[in-house]
Structure 1
Amino acid sequence: MIKITADSTCDLSPEIIKQFDISLIPLHVLIDDEDFRDGIDIEPKDIFRYVGQEGKSCKTAAVNTFEYENFFKEFSPKYDAVIHISLGSGFSSCYQNAKIASEQFDNVYVVDSQNLSTGSGHIVYEAALLAQGGVQAEEIVKHLEELVPKVDASFVINTMEYLRKGGRCSGVEAFGATLLRIKPSIEVVGGKMIVGKKYRGNFDRCIVNYVKDRLENNDDIDYSRVFITHSYCSPETVQKVREAVETYAKFDEIIETTAGCTISTHCGPNTLGILYKRKSKK
């Protein structure tokens, strides 16, 4: 048997985690001087209260090597292999720390997702499907490494205030975006976040236009599945996005998930993305 594990940042739904018996290791969320474990001691709504209402600073910190060693120690003796999918190495030292920890075990494999949220979630989900299908560990890892550059991950954010507080944009940029009602799309390219197209106006209208831009007349889409991942957007907004997705593409599976603490810390409430696989590497 093969055990699939991942960093808490993969943002898969509780149903998928339970269905495939995936085990997650939590990243750290630092609120001023307090240390919380993602999804265990703190939820995104807590972050929105701390940052949005109480004005506290909030950032995330990687899982350290010792924590990974203890995590892998729990599963290594019980399974033929453990395959761990980490938060992208361009965003955190999680991959590096997990890789170092894995060297203490002869049956632990660590895969760098080069992504975040359900961009990583695609890799975890694929690993779970392959493991359930009886594929050998080395073959699963090879398949995942080929899939990594094909994942298309992007989000639209409603406010740049959280990026400003996290030091990822200036106060002038954030103020200008608010004044002009700009909703930027954030894209993962080459394992790093970049600012893509900037939308302007009402958030729901921006998000529908974003879906159209990503999916319409795009012949490089793998239609097996798409994640709609959001940080507590309204059900009405999510429904509009689902309808737009169904209008511009015919995915076999549309999976809605809620973003965890990492995306929420950096992007704030009302962030939404569609994340799918491409046929080719870009």
Structure 2
Amino acid sequence: MVDIVTDSCADLSPELISRFNIRVLPLQVFIDNRTIPDGSISPQELFNLVSKTGELPKTSAPSIKEFLEFFEPADEIIYIGISSKLSATLPNGILAAHQLPQKRIHIIDSKNLSTGIGLLVLKAAELRNQGWTADDIVREIQATVPRVHTSFVIETMEYLYKGGRCTALQAIVGSVLKIRPIIEVRPDGTLGVKAKIRGTRRKALDSMLEDFRSHLPYLDSHRVFVTHTGCDEDANYLAKAVQSMAPIEEICITQAGATISSHCGPDTIGILFIADPHLTTEA
């Protein structure tokens, strides 16, 4: 059986990881003089450490050695990883794969983050379970990469700005207290400002919902993610609103891991889905 693997930036819950038989390689977060594997600390615990230390977390990609060990258990592997424009994780995976010519290791750049990766990983696992070959899965997932839509509301700019992950945000740092930016993952795998919403947080959430509504004519209604860094009430609000708009087969609410939380900060929340003009709501 093809081994479907990813990194911890996919923000998949333990239940989903177990249900779909996925292996996950953790990134590392350094804070309070400690190196913490992603997946072993909650967003709230992380933010409490930021408040305690006054420092932002630093994150690091898995080393080539860690990838070599991670790839060892299987002979045929499909690794779907965080955008190569956002992390050294995927390039390290490629270098490791080159050192294992005896294995069939397929590496896919998700050009995404968080459960934007997760959508691709779960689709790959479902195709594997349906008996698809690795080559066919890779072709289908690569074709799906540009169809993944990821956007999220940022409550505080401090994490992204100081982390240097989204230079397009610099123009609005001065107005952070008046504007809630909606960040999107762009087709090339970078981050950018999709909208600057003036007013309440609910207005920003509703703006994301309107964007979701605009994709309904060609939405893949199989699965939608609502992913957040510790704002359960808002997550339930978005999930209920999404479900009321379309007959979504599965809405997954997940919390972001330590790596994504380190760069996005508290009360970040997003809607992530697959949509394509070639699809219809009946597909």
TM-score, normalised to structure 1, is 0.89
Q: Which amino acid aligns with 1:260?
A: G
Look up the match of 2:11: 11
Structure 2 alignment gaps of length 5 or more: 279-283
Partner-residue secondary structure (3-state), 1:153:
strand
Residue identity (%): 39
Q: 2:88 aligns with which of 86, 93, 106?
A: 93
Look up the match of 2:182: 185
User: Shift in Å at residue 218 of structure 1?
Assistant: 4.4
Q: Is the Cα contact below 8 Å between 2:197 and 2:203 reproduced in 1?
A: no
What CA distance in whole angstroms lies between the structure 1 residues aligned with 2:199 and 2:156?
12
1:129 aligns with 2:126: yes
What CA distance in whole angstroms lies between the structure 1 residues aligned with 2:194 and 2:259?
20
* 1:28-70, Cα deviation, whole Å (9 max, x unpaired): 1122653221113x33223201223431121211111111001
Q: Which amino acid aligns with 1:100?
A: L
User: Shift in Å at residue 172 of structure 1?
Assistant: 8.1
User: Shift in Å at residue 160 of structure 1?
Assistant: 1.1
Partner-residue secondary structure (3-state), 1:279:
coil
Which segment drifts farther, 105-114 or 159-168?
Answer: 159-168
Within 5 Å, which residues of 2 pair with 1:224-263?
Answer: 224-234=222-232, 236-263=233-260
What CA distance in whole angstroms lies between the structure 2 residues aligned with 1:238 and 1:70?
36
What CA distance in whole angstroms lies between the structure 2 residues aligned with 1:14 and 1:215?
29
Partner-residue secondary structure (3-state), 1:219:
helix
Which segment drifts farther, 110-119 or 24-33?
Answer: 24-33
Structure 1 alignment gaps of length 5 or more: none
Look up the match of 1:163: 160
**What is the RMSD computed on CA atoms of the aligned residues?**
2.0
* 1:173-226, Cα deviation, whole Å (9 max, x unpaired): 434211x1x111110012111011111222233212321233246423222211
TM-score, normalised to structure 2, is 0.89
1:70 aligns with 2:69: yes
Which segment drifts farther, 212-221 or 187-196?
Answer: 212-221
Q: 1:64 to 1:280 in 2, by over 3 A?
A: farther
Q: Would you say how many aligned residue pairs link Structure 1 and Structure 2?
A: 273
Q: Is the Cα contact below 8 Å between 1:208 and 1:244 reproduced in 2?
A: no
What CA distance in whole angstroms lies between the structure 2 residues aligned with 1:108 and 1:171?
39
Which segment drifts farther, 246-255 or 140-149?
Answer: 246-255
User: Shift in Å at residue 246 of structure 1?
Assistant: 2.5
Q: 1:147 to 1:265 in 2, by over 3 A?
A: same
Partner-residue secondary structure (3-state), 2:227:
strand
What CA distance in whole angstroms lies between the structure 2 residues aligned with 1:138 and 1:218?
30
Q: Is the Cα contact below 8 Å between 2:6 and 2:81 reproduced in 1?
A: yes
Q: Which amino acid aligns with 1:86?
A: G
Runs of 4+ with >4 A deviation: 168-172
